């Protein structure tokens, strides 16, 4: 009797809401600083999962079909897995679309090399309902340090004029050539 009641309640509950394109979970304690870009055609939605060499989750994201996911991920060599399905089949971050995620055989490098953040740009396609990588390119962001110096003139309590430079270090990012 109780099982029937629980089953009835579970069937009455709404399915997990379809999330927007973006971050789902980030269990890794490492800072997310390296770019990942994933594009996919319309039709299916995708869960993008990155894991480390031990299989522990690093970061996961949701990608609606026809959109582009831009995400910063932690540094390291990560395994990419993709789960695809219809938007109505989304069951949440734990169950994804109800099926298994397809793992890409090679690890993808995400590194910081001096002022360069070296990530990945990926284009997905589908063959026989299975997601495939149609194109993969390095996506490199350069960080440029700029000093902004302001000349400051103040009057001290005794009436003495103080002049000094107030430097501020700012960084900006751009796609490298």
In the predicted model, residues of the chain with pLDDT beneath 70 are 1-16, 177
* Same-domain check for residues 96 and 154: no
* Same-domain check for residues 167 and 99: no
Q: Quote the pTM value.
A: 0.73
CATH number of domain containing 38:
2.60.40
* Same-domain check for residues 22 and 56: yes
* Same-domain check for residues 62 and 134: yes
* Same-domain check for residues 68 and 108: yes
Structural domain of residue 169, as residue ranges?
144-175
pLDDT in tens, 143-172: 888 888 899 999 989 889 999 888 898 888
* Same-domain check for residues 117 and 149: no
DSSP per-residue codes, the chain: -HHHHHHHHHHHSPPPPPPPSEEEE----S---EEEEEE--TT-EEEEEEE-TTS-EEEEEEE-TTSEEEEEE-SEEEEEEEEEE-GGG---TTTTTSSPPEEPSS-EEEEEETTEEEEEEEEEEEETTEEEEEEEEEEEEEEEEEEEEEEEEEE-TTS-EEEEEEEEEEEEEEE--
User: How many domains would you assign to the chain?
Assistant: 2
pLDDT in tens, 98-114: 888 888 888 899 998 88
């Amino acid at each position: 009797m109780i099982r029937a009641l629980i089953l009835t309640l579970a069937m009455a509950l709404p399915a997990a809401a379809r999330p927007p394109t973006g971050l789902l979970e980030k269990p890794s304690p490492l800072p997310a600083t390296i770019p990942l870009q994933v594009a996919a055609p319309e039709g299916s939605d995708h869960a993008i999962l990155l894991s480390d060499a031990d299989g522990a989750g690093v970061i996961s994201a949701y990608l609606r079909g026809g959109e582009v996911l831009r995400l910063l991920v932690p540094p390291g060599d990560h395994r990419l897995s993709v789960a695809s399905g219809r938007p109505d089949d989304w069951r949440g971050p734990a169950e994804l679309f109800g099926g298994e995620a397809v793992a890409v055989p090679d690890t993808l490098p995400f590194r910081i090399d001096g002022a360069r953040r070296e990530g990945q740009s990926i284009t997905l396609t589908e063959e026989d309902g299975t997601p495939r990588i149609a194109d993969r390119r390095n996506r490199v962001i350069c960080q440029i340090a700029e000093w902004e110096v302001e000349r400051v003139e103040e009057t001290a309590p005794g009436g003495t004029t103080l002049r000094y430079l107030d430097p501020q270090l700012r960084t900006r990012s751009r796609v490298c050539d």
